[in-house]
Amino acid sequence: MTNFFKTNLLLLALASTILSCGQFKVSHEADGSKYQVHESGKGKKIKQGDLITLNLVIKASTDTVYEDTYKRKQPLTIVAQKGLYQGSFETALMHLTEGDSATIFVSADSLFTNIQQPLPPGISRGTDVKFIVKINSVLTREEYQKSQELKRKNESKLIEDYVKKNMPGAVQGQGGVYYQVIKAGSGETIKANQVATIEYTGKFIDGKVFDSSVGKPGPKFEVQVGQGAVIPGWEAVLAMMRKGEKALVVIPSSMAYGEQGSGGVIPPFATLVFEMEILDVK
């Protein structure tokens, strides 16, 4: 037998072994769930009511990507519960384990019929939508609440240390916001419904800039104060500022984007530091 045939027979035997292995098998459950485990985790089985933190990529059968939490750098946290229809993504999750990497196949017809939306471009009738998941953690409600409380306590300590080191004489305002005047303004403090023109730079507590209006072309950033158009921490600070004033501000996550974060830019429990200047008040 030539080396060519020997090599190909070896490859076929290897492929047969891999395909027969359970972790590559597509499972079909009585509840309509259809999934394929790529890597088995060693954590606990998901139960009704657990809090699941996971990364998720959603693809059409053509591999067009519709969602990718890795790119947003922000995993999802959802409550484990059975779905409303046979073969739903939510129901299939209940068959997985902490640490699993898997693909869940959901009928496009069933999915979009149940959310009462037409099939989007790139998804055809009779095909499956692929939900590629990595189960990062599985916590009971009690465990989740304890973990959130610990994160809050850690954030409070970080803020106290930062203010002590960088903002001597800072004033603590509503909701735990810290405020230090860099340049004094004039006139009365800004009142509700007035429009403030603001220049700002936003940083994380480690100094990394995530947003800034400084040097940007076009009109300056304006906000009508007291209308909920900005995060609560900004509302609290603006009510203390005057025209021409410049301040350094520390805003705890509870007065910013909380435990969810925002848009893949602001992570959960992120303390925000702003340098803000009021250019005008109308």
The one catalytic residue among 112, 204, 210, 221: 210
pLDDT of res. 16: 44
Is residue 156 assigned to a domain?
A: yes
Name the more confident of 1 and 239: 239
pLDDT of res. 107: 96
The one catalytic residue among 52, 123, 231, 266: 231
pLDDT of res. 265: 83
pLDDT of res. 6: 46
User: 248: pLDDT confidence band, cut at 50, 70 and 90?
Assistant: very high
Examine the domain organization and report whether 160 and 131 are in the same domain: no
User: 218: pLDDT confidence band, cut at 50, 70 and 90?
Assistant: confident
CB-based contacts of 237, cutoff 8 Å, min separation 6? 173, 177, 179, 247, 249, 251, 274, 276
Average pLDDT over residues 110-137: 94
Residue whose structure tokens are 């939508």: 129
For the question of residue 179 being annotated catalytic, the response is no
Is residue 78 assigned to a domain?
A: yes
pTM of the entire structure? 0.64
Range of the domain at 218: 152-281
The one catalytic residue among 89, 178, 257, 269: 257
Examine the domain organization and report whether 157 and 130 are in the same domain: no
Average pLDDT over residues 10-21: 44
Is residue 248 assigned to a domain?
A: yes
The one catalytic residue among 89, 105, 131, 274: 274
pLDDT of res. 240: 92
Examine the domain organization and report whether 156 and 129 are in the same domain: no
pLDDT for 162 beyond 80: yes
User: 71: pLDDT confidence band, cut at 50, 70 and 90?
Assistant: confident
Q: In this structure, which amino acid lies at residue 60?
A: A
User: 32: pLDDT confidence band, cut at 50, 70 and 90?
Assistant: very high
Percent of all residues in the chain with a pLDDT value above 90, rounded to a whole number:
74
pLDDT for 199 beyond 90: yes
pLDDT of res. 262: 84
pLDDT for 2 beyond 80: no
Is residue 38 assigned to a domain?
A: yes
pLDDT of res. 73: 76
User: 31: pLDDT confidence band, cut at 50, 70 and 90?
Assistant: very high
The total number of structural domains that make up the chain = 2
How high does pLDDT run on average in the chain? 89
Average pLDDT over residues 134-152: 91
For the question of residue 274 being annotated catalytic, the response is yes
Average pLDDT over residues 22-49: 90
For the question of residue 144 being annotated catalytic, the response is no
Is residue 4 assigned to a domain?
A: no
For the question of residue 257 being annotated catalytic, the response is yes
112: domain CATH number? 3.10.50.40
CB-based contacts of 132, cutoff 8 Å, min separation 6? 56, 57, 58, 59, 101, 102, 103, 104
pLDDT of res. 5: 42
Examine the domain organization and report whether 78 and 116 are in the same domain: yes
78-101 pLDDT per residue, tens: 999 999 999 999 999 999 999 999
pLDDT for 193 beyond 50: yes
The one catalytic residue among 85, 162, 200, 204: 200
User: 34: pLDDT confidence band, cut at 50, 70 and 90?
Assistant: very high
- Give the C-alpha separation, 113 to 240, whole Å: 51
98-117 pLDDT per residue, tens: 999 999 999 999 999 999 99
Examine the domain organization and report whether 117 and 228 are in the same domain: no
In the chain, DSSP assigns E strands to 26-28, 34-39, 51-59, 65-68, 76-79, 101-107, 128-139, 171-172, 178-183, 195-204, 209-212, 221-224, 246-251, 272-281
